[in-house]
Structure 1
Amino acid sequence: MCGISGFYNLNRQQVDHSVLHNMLRTQSHRGPDSSGIFYNNHIGLAHNRLSLLDLSDNGKQPFENEDYVLIYNGEVYNFLDLKKDLPNINYKSTSDTEVLFHYLIYHGIEKTLSKIQGMFAFAWYNKKQDKLYLVRDKIGIKPLFYGVDKNNCLWFSSELKAIHKVAEFDPDSIQMLFSSIGGIAEKSRHKTLWKNLFTLSPGHFVKVENSSIQKVQYFSINSYVNEKEYNRLNNLSIKDVTSEFETIFDKAVKQLLISDAPMGAFISGGIDSSLIASHASKHQSDLKLFTANILGKYSEFSDAQKVAKHLNRDLFHYDFEKSMGIRDLAHVTWHYESPITVHFNALPFSNVSQLAREHKVKAVLTGEGADELFLGYPRLLTRRYNKIIRTPYSMLDKIYSVIPTLKRYMNSSEGSTGLTQLFQLATQGFSRQLLREEGLEAYGFLKNKDQVEQYLSIQMINEGIVSLLWRNDRMGMMHSIESRFPFLDESVMAFALNLPTKFKIGRTKRFHNYKHPFLTDKHIVRKLGEKSLPESLYRKKKNGFPLYGTRDMRVENKFLHNGVFSNLFQLTNYQIDYMINNSKPYHIALIAMFEVWGKLFLEKREISEVDELNQKYLKII
């Protein structure tokens, strides 16, 4: 919806108000419709507005009275219900922002956070008490970064670059070291690639009072788990469960369509986005559909066309050629703010967002969350075959166990080799391991096998969805497009996390997917799809937005000469040449993605300059 930013000097010393204007300019793409600031010497709040509800100036922010100030990014979908809990107020707008403002005044921060449903990040300031709250939504759909600099000033913003524009934070060499391995920066729930600069964790708020900072957790996704509800669903038939899911899902889609500006949907031709488009079309007659046509062997355009034809909706597409991956890399990395090592498909995603904006759309529905909640990733299903797959190793392991010294010799993980993985986990503060313990405990009423499998959905929300939300936010907002996620609606999540696995993983006599031939992923989602989609769509296997990317990239040696990577590891050009000539091209490509990020954010080169280097030394074959 918007971009927020600001500061609070913990020494209560004056900060020049011009920094707010610099932050506003840096995040102008997040809210091009209007901007505003609140300033009072040691505290400043700034807001870039993307108007979706109440397009008039009445919805401008900051929202302020003599006692309080609010800047807010996101959507509170149940704001009309919240109005009923408030006294008679002479509202000056029809926005959810104003409802949130008054709800905070009358009910306080804790009750407000227990009641509001949606995606949000906001700053709430009490003028009289000089107390500031920074808040992020329950699963981290909307971004918020914060950190205290060497001058004891707290900075916060929706994007890191807005903070970098006005404050100095040192890069974290340890985080950077592992940033090319699995996209650590955008997958972390609290760390960034900068020292003392953090992502506010999902379901948390920061309270600033009496020059001190306190981080508080107000929500855990484990709280959705309910033994009674699990048992109720477990006793239902697949028909009854599908019917219940249909009611919940359709209500979520309808609720997320609330907007005074044109809306659309991103589709791929896969079951998740097709199902969303199908339900959304029932509630909005002018819904526009958008897709990326990845030219060549990865194209799924024909399936996206099937969806549009079936729903009788206009389909707008962007033809993405593999050379465009290099063409757009510098610009996209600038907005991505992290090395693009995991989601190279962010590049065509950015083009589709631009296409939507060109057609006057401001918000889109997307399918993220279905794979995580309903077990759509093949590796989550093939776990059931692990025992069979590992049989030869298990037999050898038993044989080697007779002679422990032989086992240690044959098993490289017994030595120091495993330290690399240990170090990687340490960069994330072992958050996934600690969250796993909490999540398994939530399903403690189940047997061990069922407990572990049921936990997978929580695990994927805690881990897998984080980088996807990062991608969608950055690639949408670079063109002032807000992404909304029906599968991540609170009612859908509560249903999914209590839904027994037998309704998520189905059995079939068909050869559904060579990775799990007789098991169907997202069984309940596909059953719902049967009611509104052609068979070719609701049976379609998951493809995962494939395209030519880093596995197809070739890097000329000079690109890494005297660069950020060589400086980090203190490597000569001769050593860089050896590394490139004796390593897998894919690994070098990942390092090149780090190099692109480093040239932009560490060397502070212009996008045009980095683009010129990319075009000269990088190629997708």
Structure 2
Amino acid sequence: MCGFLAEYTFSAPVTPPNTFQTLLALSKHRGPDATNTIQNNGVQLGFNRLAILDTSPKGNQPKKSPSNRYHVVFNGELYNYKDLAETHGLTNLASTSDTEVLMHLLDKLGVETTIQTLNGMFAIVIIDTKTDLCYLTRDFAGIKPLFFGKSVSGLVAASQFNQVYKHPWHNNHLKLKPDSVKTYFALGYMQAPDTVYKDVFQVKPGELICINRQGDINKKQQSHFSKNQQDASQNQPLSSVLKNVVSKQLVSDVPIATFLSGGIDSPLIGAYAKQQKNAIEAFTLQVADAKLNESDIAKAYAKHLKIKQHIVTVSPEDVRSEIEAHFLAFSEPFGDYSSIPTYVISKEARKRHTVMLSGDGGDELFFGYPRMLDILQKRWWFKMPYTVRKPLAALTNKLGITQTWAPYFKVFNAFVFNKHAKLPKAVLDKAFKNVKYSSTLKDLYKFKNKKKTELLHQLRYNEFYAHLQRVLIKVDRASMANSLEVRVPFLDKNVIEWAWKTSRVVKTKKDLKKDLKQLLANEVPEHFINQKKMGFSVPLNHWLHNQLKTDVIKTVFHTNFYGDTIINVAALRDYVQDFYDNKHDNAWGVWHIYAWQKWWLAHGVKK
């Protein structure tokens, strides 16, 4: 797990070494073990390494292929690198790192075929010195970040957003993109391929981008996970697939442990990890609020599985002491407040370990969110015209037959989007007058309300490429700020393929994540399972009214508001004021506004 910076010029020379080193240093926390750069023929590559496999200097980057044709910087892990080495008869490897296998494969298979064979989490920049082309690619789940900016001078690509927008090719002419800024305030993150700036982008999950010296860009989607259900019989039971995945992801030359919550996903990963690595340890979050604290359930899991457990408490004192460092960890605007406990537990885990396993992805792939069930149960409202269902809903709500706002949404897509948005539509429309969402976002929230099985798969696709991306941003930035690698077994290509080919019927809450519940019931007493889902949460409402209130008021009301040329700031400030006047209790929406301001203040963005 590492951080990198790359320049590929069009009409200008590469930036001076001191400027390049300053930008590269912004991601030093992602890779504190070694820093190296190379420069050649209008290309400059820099790399900060977090040594995981083959911790010797032989695993350092940037790296050249044996033929010297390909020059590469690569952030991530390839879990099938040993299999690939054996399959393709790779010999005379100079190191035991997965990067070494990648370099040999490029010489043997070329760029596109090599990328198709990879199973792991990765962001890669490849320079083909023979064709003079630059390639950018990212893993199919979007676990690892890859930002890039294109200007008349050239292309700059990096692990962090601020390494691109602070680059001299961009920092003097940044322009906010209204539809993407509106997306941030609604969802709390930047939806790939967009960012809040017009000339800065993200490589989409599973995408391969090729750029030539004239600045022409060719994009190809490598991922084959489509919106359409893929019917196919399963060759292996899910337990076998998952156990094999966990086994491969336990390979590490540095200490490795696992996160453990009171839910379903991480306990299952922990159980399988314990079977293969007896000394595995676990880290569990504990909060003082009894309504949010699930550490007691996690303690029961750990005791039964005989896993040594570390309890990490997130207290109001942690908010005061860690809030500024926490916002420094996010070089892009990010509004998921569970980033605070994620940052705190990552910091504590790093004191003993360099790699962690997590249970992220289980909810998205195996139908774990109650909102998916709610959408299925209320889809019938949208079978009738809006002019009919609106008065009908008013009547049934008044009579107590139903209690729902679903029929008041004019279209089904808006109803689904509202499940994810944290600021009300009225506030967003007032803050962003005449600003529509991007076509990217509209396509992601476009559903066919027909067969239940078809709709359910579309909802899973949406969760995977929308909400999950926010989760992955949170975990990557919070963990890597502490030089901690987090691996995600559920997002292994084999697990995703298994899930994608599996149809399920979801009628009640018992059907949510049924596949994983059945597997976990084989490892722990069944009464541990099916307890109330609490999530990775903290008492945000209380904190905003107490520990954070002074800073929120200062940051939102008494500080210049970033983006005030495209945002009706009064609409957002009024919403925060209404929160403190107890006119609403939407703490998450307030956090989006606060976090936007903290981002630009923390990272020195030019106003």
- Measured against the shorter chain, the TM-score band is 0.7 to 0.9
Question: Which stretch of structure 1 is more off in the superposition, 536-545 or 522-531?
Answer: 536-545
The answer on whether the counterparts of 1:63 and 1:69 sit within 8 Å (CA) in structure 2 is yes
**CA–CA separation in structure 1 for the residues paired with 2:115 and 2:520:** 34
Aligned counterpart in structure 1 of residue 261 of structure 2, from 243, 260, 268: 268
TM-score (normalizing by structure 1): 0.82
Aligned to 1:354, what secondary structure does the other structure show? Answer: helix
Structure-2 residue corresponding to 1:310? 304
> 1:501, 1:572 → 2: CA distance?
44
Task: State the secondary structure of the residue aligned to 1:45.
Answer: strand
Measured at CA, do residues 278 and 34 of structure 1 come closer, stay the same or move farther in structure 2, by a change above 3 Å? same
Which amino acid letter does the alignment assign opposite residue 527 of structure 1? Q
Q: CA deviation at 1:288?
A: 1.5
- The answer to whether the aligner puts 1:299 opposite 2:288 as a matched pair is no
Deviation, 1:87, is 4.6
Task: Say which is worse superposed, 586-595 or 282-291, in terms of deviation.
Answer: 586-595
Distance 1:434-1:225 versus aligned 2 partners, 3 A rule? closer
Q: What is the Cα deviation at residue 560 of structure 1?
A: 2.9
Q: Is the 8 A contact 1:126 1:132 kept in 2?
A: yes
- Contact kept, 8 Å, 2:52 with 2:253, in 1: the verdict is yes
1:365 maps to a residue whose letter is L
What is the aligned partner in structure 2 of residue 42 from structure 1? 42
Q: What SS does the aligned partner of 1:258 have? A: coil
CA gap 1:386/1:70 in 2 versus in 1, 3 angstroms? same
Q: In structure 2, which of residues 212, 215, 219 is the aligned counterpart of residue 212 of structure 1?
A: 215
Whether contact under 8 Å (2:390, 2:408) holds in the other structure is no
Aligned with residue 559 of structure 2, among 532, 544, 563: 563
| Residue aligning to 1:358 | 351
User: What does residue 119 of structure 2 align with?
Assistant: 117
Task: Tell me the equivalent position of 2:511.
Answer: 520
Could you tell me how far apart the structure 2 residues matched to 1:560 and 1:271 are?
38
Distance 1:399 1:56 in 2: 70
Query: Does the 8 Å contact 2:289/2:539 carry over to 1?
Result: no
CA distance in 2, matches of 1:425, 1:472: 34
Match of 1:68 among 63, 70, 77: 70
- Aligned counterparts of 2:242 and 2:266: Cα–Cα separation in 1: 13
Q: Is the 8 A contact 1:191 1:428 kept in 2?
A: no
Q: Quick one: which amino acid aligns to residue 357 of structure 1? A: R
1:182 aligned onto 2:182 = no
Residues 46 and 535 from structure 1, CA distance in 2 versus in 1: closer, same or farther, beyond 3 angstroms?
A: same
Give the superposition deviation at 1:23: 2.6
Instruction: Check conservation: 1:551, 1:589, Cα contact below 8 A.
Output: no
Distance, in Å, in 2 between the alignment partners of 1:574 and 1:385 is 38
In structure 2, the CA distance between the partners of 1:59 and 1:425, relative to structure 1 (3 Å rule), is: farther
Counterpart of 1:92?
94
1:218–1:582 CA distance, 2 compared to 1 (3 A): closer
Residue 285 of structure 1 and its aligned partner are, at CA, apart by 1.9
Q: CA deviation at 1:184?
A: 4.5
Question: Which runs of structure 2 are paired with 1:9-408 in the superposition (5 Å)?
Answer: 9-11=9-11, 13-40=13-40, 42-64=42-64, 65=66, 66-87=68-89, 89-149=91-151, 151-167=152-168, 168-169=170-171, 170-172=174-176, 174-175=178-179, 177-178=181-182, 181-186=185-190, 188-222=191-225, 227-229=230-232, 232=233, 244-297=237-290, 298-341=292-335, 343-359=336-352, 361-386=353-378, 397=389
1:320, 1:531 → 2: CA distance?
32
- 1:230-289 C-alpha deviation (Å, 9 max, x unpaired): xx36xxxxxxx9x81111111111111111111110111211100000001111122111
Residue 389 of structure 2 aligns with an amino acid whose one-letter code is: D
Which residue identity lines up with residue 345 of structure 2 in the other structure?
A: V
Sort the Cα spacing of 1:568 and 1:70 in 2 relative to 1 into closer, same or farther, 3 A. same
Provide Cα deviations, 1:201-227, integer angstroms capped at 9, x if missing partner: 111122122322313223234359675
Contact 2:555–2:598 (Cα < 8 Å) also in 1 = no
Aligned equivalent of 1:500, options 485, 498, 503: 503
The Cα of 1:31 is off from its aligned counterpart by 0.6
Instruction: State the partner residue of 2:486.
Output: 483
Contact 1:264 1:289 in 2 (8 A): yes
Q: Do 2:179 and 2:438's aligned partners in 1 also have CA atoms closer than 8 Å?
A: no
1:189 Cα deviation (Å)?
A: 1.6
1:534 aligns with 2:516: no
Give the Cα separation in 1 of the matches to 2:246 and 2:383: 45
Secondary structure of 1:172's aligned partner: coil
The question of whether the paired residues in 2 share the 8 Å contact of 1:17 and 1:44 is answered with: no
Cα distance in structure 1, aligned partners of 2:359 and 2:570: 47
Q: 1:81-124 CA distances to partner (integer Å, 9 max, x unpaired)?
A: 11134355311101110100110111011111221111111111
Distance 1:32 1:121 in 2: 18
1:24 to partner: Cα distance: 2.6
Alignment of 1:456-467 (within 5 A): 456-467=459-470
Percent identity between the aligned chains?
A: 26
Q: Deviations over 1:385-406 (max 9, x none)?
A: 32688999989638689xxxxx
Q: Provide Cα deviations, 1:7-64, integer angstroms capped at 9, x if missing partner.
A: 1111153432223311331111101111111112521011111111111111111112
Distance 1:37 1:506 in 2: 55
8 Å contact kept, 1:17–1:41 = no
- 1:553 corresponds to 2:540: no
Cα shift at 1:570:
9.3
SS in 1 for 2:307: coil
Q: CA–CA distance in 2 between the matches of 1:348 and 1:581?
A: 26
CA–CA separation in structure 2 for the residues paired with 1:566 and 1:158 = 24
Structure 1 residues 403-449: Cα deviation after superposition (integer angstroms, max 9, x where no partner): xxxxxxx97969x9699399799765232442466x969xxxxx723
TM-score (structure 2 length as normaliser): 0.84
Aligned twin of 2:398 = none
Alignment partners' CA distance in 2, 1:600 and 1:171: 19
**Which amino acid is 2:187 matched to?**
G
Listed one character per residue, the Cα deviations across residues 340-388 of structure 1 (whole Å, up to 9, x for unaligned) are 42x21111111111111101x1111111111001111111112343268
> Could you tell me whether the CA contact under 8 Å between 2:74 and 2:122 is conserved in 1?
yes
Whether the aligned pair in 2 keeps the contact of 1:266 and 1:273 (CA below 8 Å) is: yes
Q: 1:311, 1:493 → 2: CA distance?
A: 26
For residues 439-495 of structure 1, give each alpha carbon's deviation from its aligned partner in whole angstroms, at most 9, with x where no partner exists. 969xxxxx7232112322222111121101101100110011111111111111111
Q: Distance in 1 between matches of 2:300 and 2:163?
A: 42
